[in-house]
Each structure stands twice: as C-alpha cells, then as structure tokens.
A and B are shown apart, each in its own frame.
Chain A
Amino acid sequence: MAAPDLDSLSKTPFFDRHVEAGARIVDFGGWAMPVQYEGILAEHHRVRTGVGLFDVSHMGEFFVEGAGAEAFLQRMTTNDVTALADGQAQYTVALYEHGGIVDDLLIYRRGEGRYLVCVNAACIDKDWDWFSSHHDEAADGCTLENASTSWAQLAIQGRHAEALLQKLTDADLSAVAYYRFTEDVLAGVDCIIARTGYTGEDGFELFFDASHADAMWAAVFGAGEEFDLQPIGLGARDTLRLESKYCLYGNDITDETTPLEGRLTWIVKLDASDFIGKEALLTQKEQGVPRRLVGFELQGRGIARHGYPVLLDGEVVGEVTSGAHSPSLSKAIGLCYLPKGSTKVGTEFAIQIRKKTVPAVVVKTPFYKRDY
C-alpha cells in the first residue's frame, strides 16, 4: 500500500485542507483525493445521522449557452431537456450511437439558453471530446465551455445541511426543492446552490469559482461547528451512494451497457425529440432488453466485490459491478446484471467469492431510504 505519487496527480483547490484534516490520500482516476479521515464507517454514519462535507471539485463543469443550447443538449442526452424549468436540475446520460453510455450527467437550467452540465471527474476529457466533436458553434447556435478547472464544488449532505448553510446566505433554502437550485451569495461568494447529492440524504451541492475555495471552506466549517461538521472521504461516498442505488459510471454503467439495461429507463425519453443512441435503444426495446441491473443481498458470509463472478444455475452470467458491506444495514450488498427472466425480486443466484460459492438474492432497491 505505497503512497501515491502526488506530484503526478491533479489536485482540487482543497487538497491542503484534506491533508491538514488528516486525510488518507489516494489516486482516484488521476486525482489526489481523500479516501477517508476518521474512518469510512464513522464518516458514513455521520452523513446518515448528521451532516458531512465532500470535496467534489474534481467533477467537471461544462457551460452550454445560446439560443440553440436546449436543442444541442436534447440531441446529446436521453432525458427531456425541454421539460426543465429555470432553476431545475435533471439527471441524464449521454450515449454513443450503439446505445452504450458515454457518461451520466446532471444538467442545470440556469435560464433560457443557459445550461450547466456536471460530468464525472474521470470522464472530463472524454466527455469534452465527445461534446466538442458534435458541436458547431454557428450551426448549433450555442457556445460550449469547459470550466472544470476554474470551478470548485462542495457537497454538504445530511439532515442538518439546510440549517447549516442557511446561516451563510439570505436565500431561502427551504424554498429550494429537491433537484432545484438557486443562484445567490453564500458566505460572500456567488454560488449555484443546488439541492442535489449522491448520498441518499437531504443536502446541497455548491458550485463556485475556485479562487474562493479557502474562504468557502473556512465559512462552511465555521457555520458547521454547532453541527459537528466533518469532511467525508470517497470511501464513505461510495458506500452511501451504493445503499441509495446511485450508479457509478465505469462500474454499474459503462460504454458497454445501455440505460435500459442499467434500469435508467426513467431518464430515457424515447417519445421526445431524437438523441444520439436513440435508434439503438429502440432496437433493443423491440428485441427485448437482454439483461438488467439488479440489487442483491448476500445470504452467506463474506463481501461480494466489484468483478466477482455472478452465477445463475451454476453458469457464470456476469460479474458484480458494485459490492460492499453496507454500514447502514450491516449486510453485504451489491449490484450486478442478470439475464432477462431472472431479475425479479426474490430470484436466487450466487456470487463466487474466492473459492466459495455464496448464495445471493435479488432485493428491492434502494437498499436504504431516509426516513425524514
């Protein structure tokens, strides 16, 4: 477990704060990121019961602006961009022509013809190439800007997030509904304040100019003192998102899986206008979706991890796409693809864990739902 070579890695504007806070730093897709501070279990429970802060500045931000922005994004993504109101965010995916997923994205409509697209850190370059190669400023009537390096992003997640952040802004955060956002001054800094997240808890994500990173960190932790706010690493981010069955791009959904297979049908609007990959999805729908992503619980001892073989009636039919010990449920849970006809809740199958075949069962997801 050698320490990563930090010099070769990208760093967010909060890197020094993580080191000061005692983080264990790892190489996450080319980024030097905190995997844990006090420990993954403690950090996980802290977010579930109180509030925690995540540095998500490694995520990418693209701005799409102009009269043709809506039509451009409608063509590039599967969800219906025209359904967005000002101040609303939308989960969506961009597809290749063959229906495989380029990336999963959040699109924020800031106003008429003004959109922010938030992309995964490890996909910034790939997504930028993909969007650029399909973009013609004159023909599309919109500009495309990659602002990933100049923007910082913090996620404040947990039941106390609203009360904490309300101390720092005059904007009425109680009026910001789930998947809505407002643009206002918070801690003296112009921010996009979005009620979104990747934990299954209530919470906010703040986008702001990276030059304000130090001031923002200090202000948020100052306001967070009474809530015992602590920074949370990527380790707990992964267990929190898995319990909530949020897909991780590169694991649960990839360029080899379609959103129909990944059970993301709710963000695929085949009746709306054309988008790249639509033909492939229509064909797959007609022929029958061959496999679907399911959630499972392990019934024997052990932990099913990413890459472990999945067996149905003794045959290997795939592998675990995400798997972990669930700190909230104290069970081994995971996601995997199962073939058509074998994806119902209650279906029994097995996971190969080293030399043992351990029984597993398809369960309802999300594994965890907040109770407030």
Chain B
Amino acid sequence: MSQIPADLLYTSDHEWVRVADGVATVGITHHAQDQLGDIVFCGDAPDEGDKVEKGDVVAVVESVKANSDIYSPVDGKIAAVNEALEEEPELVNSSPYENGWIVKVKLSDDDTSDLLNAEQYEALVENES
C-alpha cells in the first residue's frame, strides 16, 4: 500500500516520523487525514526550543467537523514548526508525508524502537477498519 511509505515510522495515533540527523519530522498519515476530512486549521504548536516529551500535544489539527491532537512520538526539543500550515492547512490533506509535515523535534534520545514500522502500521489500520 503506497499510502504507507515503507521508509517511515508510525504511531498508533496515526502520526508518522522520519528520523534524519537526530531530528524527527512528524506529521499525520494519509489514513489520518482521510478520516479527518478537509483540514482547515493547524496550530497551537509549542515554541521552537521548547522541550517535549513523548505524548505531549505538539499541535492541533482541525477539519471542518472534528479536531485532533497531535502528540509528540519522541522526547526532545521543538526544532521547527511548519509555518506554511498557518496559511495552507490543507497541505496536510494534499501532501501528508511531504509539505504537510507538522513539527520537527530534535531528539534527546535516538531510541525509536517503540515506534511501528510500515508493516505494523498497515496491520493496525486494517484492524481498525
């Protein structure tokens, strides 16, 4: 299933994580954006440099009908917030894995062993539907 890129890691809350050079880029999966529908707001992110722990809310994504908290899948510090989403939150729908990324977190610990791989995440999505 091409909607779940093989090279990313995932959470059971439908976030994806791309780790490169000690920084985790975080977004929501194709499945998550599809379930939410048209996204019209993305915000409430902490400031750059703020410490976050796994499970902390790092953004809120709102569609026309629902809102969804986005949790940090890792421990670290906020390295960047995708400011493009302020004007174009619909990027989360149209490009969930690229232009629609939500935050970058500088890892304080590279251990990502508790995240799901693509195969595990695909099984989780199939289980839910």
B34-70 residues at the A interface, CB under 8 angstroms: 35, 37-38, 40-41, 43-44, 60, 62-65, 67
List of A residues within 8 angstroms of B41 by Cβ: 301-303, 325, 332
Contact of A354 among B44, B65, B86 (CB under 8 A): B44
Which residues does chain B contribute within 8 Å of A238, judged by CB atoms? 65
Contact B64 A2 (CB under 8 A): no
Q: Is A122 an interface residue (CB 8 A)?
A: no
Find chain B residues with CB under 8 A from A356 CB.
44
Whether the pair A1, B64 counts as a contact (CB closer than 8 A) is no
Total interface residues on A, CB under 8 Å, equals: 24
Are A2 and B40 in touch, CB under 8 angstroms?
no
With known contacts A301-B41, A301-B43, A354-B44, A41–B64 Cβ distance under 8 A = yes
Contacts of B67 in A (CB 8 A): 303, 305
B35's nearest neighbour on chain A, judged by CB, is A1
A303 touches B40 (CB 8 A): yes
B2 within 8 A of A: no
A324 at the interface (CB under 8 A from B): yes
A-to-B contact residues, CB < 8 Å: 1-3, 35-36, 39-42, 44, 235, 238-239, 301-303, 305, 324-325, 327, 332, 354-356
Q: Whose C-beta in chain B lies nearest to the C-beta of A42?
A: B38
Evaluate whether A39 and B38 lie within 8 angstroms (CB atoms) in the complex, with A2-B128, A3-B129, A354-B44 already known.
yes
Return the chain B residue nearest A26 by Cβ: B65
List A contacts of B38 (CB < 8 A).
Answer: 39-42
Interfacial residues of chain B within 60-89, with CB under 8 A of chain A in the complex? 60, 62-65, 67, 86
Bound: A41/B38 CA distance, A: 7
Cβ-neighbour of A40 out of B35, B60, B65, B86 (below 8 A)? B65
Among residues of B, the one whose C-beta sits closest to the C-beta of A35 is B65
Which A residues are CB-close (under 8 A) to B63?
A: 40
- Report yes or no: B43 in contact with A235, Cβ–Cβ below 8 A: no
Q: Is the CB of A239 within 8 A of B64?
A: yes
Ordered nearest first, which 4 A-B pairs have the shortest CB separation? Answer: A325-B40, A40-B64, A41-B38, A39-B38
Instruction: Output the nearest chain B residue to A355 by Cβ-Cβ distance.
Output: B44
Which A residues are in CB contact (< 8 Å) with B40? 41, 303, 325, 327
Complex CA gap A275/B113 in Å reads 69
A325: B residues at CB distance < 8 A: 40-41, 62, 64
CB distance from A97 to the nearest CB of B (A): 36
Q: Are B44 and A235 in contact (CB under 8 A)?
A: no
Q: Cβ of A327 and Cβ of B43 under 8 Å apart?
A: no
Given the known A-B contacts A39-B38, A235-B37, are A324 and B129 also in contact in the complex, defined by CB atoms under 8 Å?
no
Give the chain B neighbours of A1 by CB distance below 8 A. Answer: 35, 128
Closest to A2 in B: B128
Contact across chains for A324 and B64 when beta carbons are under 8 A apart: yes
Could you give, for residues 9-36 of chain B, a 1 whenever the CB lies within 8 Å of some chain A CB and a 0 otherwise?
Answer: 0000000000000000000000000010
Given the complex, which residues of B lie within 8 Å of A39, measured CB to CB?
37-38
**How distant is the Cα of A356 from the Cα of B40 in the complex, in angstroms?**
18
Could you tell me the distance in whole angstroms from the C-beta of B82 to the nearest C-beta in chain A?
Answer: 15
Please give the distance in Å from B74's CB to the nearest CB on chain A.
22
Q: List 25 A-B contacts (CB under 8 A).
A: A1-B128, A3-B129, A36-B37, A39-B38, A40-B38, A40-B63, A40-B64, A40-B65, A41-B38, A41-B64, A42-B38, A44-B64, A235-B65, A301-B41, A301-B43, A301-B86, A302-B62, A303-B40, A303-B41, A303-B62, A303-B67, A305-B67, A324-B64, A327-B40, A356-B44
Residues of B within 8 A of A3 (CB): 129
